[in-house]
Structure 1
Amino acid sequence: MNVDETEIRNVMDMNAFCGGFAVALSTWPIWVMNIVPISMNNTLSAIYNRGLIGAFHDWCEPFSTYPRSYDLLHANRLFSHYKNREDGCFLEDIMLEMDRIIRPQGIIIIRDEESIITRIKAIAPKFLWDVESHSLENEQKATEPVLICRKKFWALV
């Protein structure tokens, strides 16, 4: 999947922790919204201390995106955080919200547990996402799965 640098303007880190993904992209001419899931530890002050912007959000609820859509979504361990919720919030609900806020041809990077990656890989084509599987080496030198998805641009003919 080829990505031109000029394709990426608005980025959302859906599980930002302390804003490391935004810092890694700080040399690019982009805007990054850092989201800390409301049920996670409060790391928003660390994000603000880095001079970044961010907000709390529960991904089982709609996210107000007005006036923008996003070119890139980054979801690091987001799905595994929500997997044991008992309130009827499912993986598919979060994927549907992702599909709503990502623009056509937008890119989604998902890094999570193998079982979750396998489920997303099976469901993603139903959202009309192209999916590529990759693997990265973590801090412990173990290989972890990563999905890179691109939302298709489709039109009624």
Structure 2
Amino acid sequence: MDRILRPGGAVIFRDQAEVLVKVRIIVKGMRWNTKMVDHEDGPPISEKVFIAVKRYWVAGDNTTSSN
């Protein structure tokens, strides 16, 4: 998915919190920005919504750009 999605593109996952925590580890390794929010029925529901946005970055560079 990293090769398909352009920088600034977003992916939305909806699944159980335990699954999304595992996905978050992988996505953080790709240097994407992430956010996990509660289900529309509230926090007691174990299903969550996970949003990941691909950032623009260059390998070997310590700085990143949000362009």
* TM score, norm. by length of structure 1: 0.33
Counterpart of 2:57 in structure 1 is 154
- Alignment counterpart, residue 111 of structure 1, candidates 2, 5, 14: 14
1:125 aligns with 2:39: no
- SS of 1:155 mapped into structure 2: coil
- Structure with bigger helix share is 1
CA distance in 1, matches of 2:30, 2:36: 17
Count of residue correspondences: 57
CA distance in 1, matches of 2:2, 2:38: 23
CA shift digits 1:29-60 (9 cap, x unpaired) = xxxxxxxxxxxxxxxxxxxxxxxxxxxxxxxx
Kindly state the Cα deviation for residue 113 of structure 1 after the two structures are TM-superposed. Answer: 1.8
What is the percentage of aligned positions where both structures have the same residue? 32
Between the two structures, name the one with larger relative contact order (CA 8 Å, sep ≥ 6): 2
Return structure 1 stretches of 4+ with deviation > 4 angstroms: none
CA distance in 2, matches of 1:113, 1:107: 19
Higher alpha-carbon Rg:
1
- SS of 2:6 mapped into structure 1: strand
Amino acid at match of 1:105: G
1:145 aligns with 2:48: yes
**Structure 1: any 5+ residue segments left out of the alignment?**
1-97
* TM score, norm. by length of structure 2: 0.70
Counterpart of 2:64 in structure 1 is none
